[in-house]
């Protein structure tokens, strides 16, 4: 397990997404009703940036073609995406948000 601190707890408000770079990874940190989830910031359909999309409840919509993903599982919920987006385990340690980038 390789936990990396990517943000402070209050940096991503409920209903929003923030992006954090860890090496060559772009991780989208999604706040769903106060619970944090981390996914790759890339649509599996066409490589678009998911942080530019809308986060509604636990679904993020890619702004390019409308594919929607469940940020809690990575599963694609609508076409044109058929492959899941990679998810990362999140741990909160005090005020730090840490993500396991090895999973």
pLDDT (tens digit per residue) in 20-68: 999 999 999 999 999 999 999 999 998 889 999 999 999 999 998 899 9
Reply yes or no on whether the pLDDT at 1 is more than 80. no
User: What CATH code would you report for 3-100?
Assistant: 2.102.10.10
Beta-carbon contacts of 94 under 8 Å, excluding residues fewer than 6 positions away, are none
Beta-carbon contacts of 47 under 8 Å, excluding residues fewer than 6 positions away, are none
Q: Tell me the whole-structure pTM to 2 decimals.
A: 0.94
* Per-residue pLDDT at 103: 60
**Residue extents of the structural domains in the chain:** 3-100
The answer to whether the peptide bond before residue 80 is cis (omega within 30 degrees of 0) is: yes
Phi and psi at 96, nearest 5°, equal: -95, 140
* Per-residue pLDDT at 87: 97
Instruction: Count CA atoms within 13 Å of residue 100 on its CB side.
Output: 8
pLDDT (tens digit per residue) in 67-88: 999 999 999 999 999 999 999 9
């Amino acid at each position: 397990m390789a936990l990396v601190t990517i943000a402070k707890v209050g940096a991503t408000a409920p209903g929003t997404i923030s992006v954090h770079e860890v090496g060559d990874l772009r991780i989208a940190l999604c706040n769903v009703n106060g619970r944090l989830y981390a996914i790759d910031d890339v649509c599996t359909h066409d490589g678009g940036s998911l942080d530019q999309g809308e986060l509604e409840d636990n679904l993020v919509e890619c702004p390019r073609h409308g594919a929607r993903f469940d940020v809690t599982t990575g599963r694609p919920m609508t076409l044109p995406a058929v492959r899941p987006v990679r998810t990362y385990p999140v741990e909160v340690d005090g005020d730090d948000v840490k993500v396991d980038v090895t999973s």
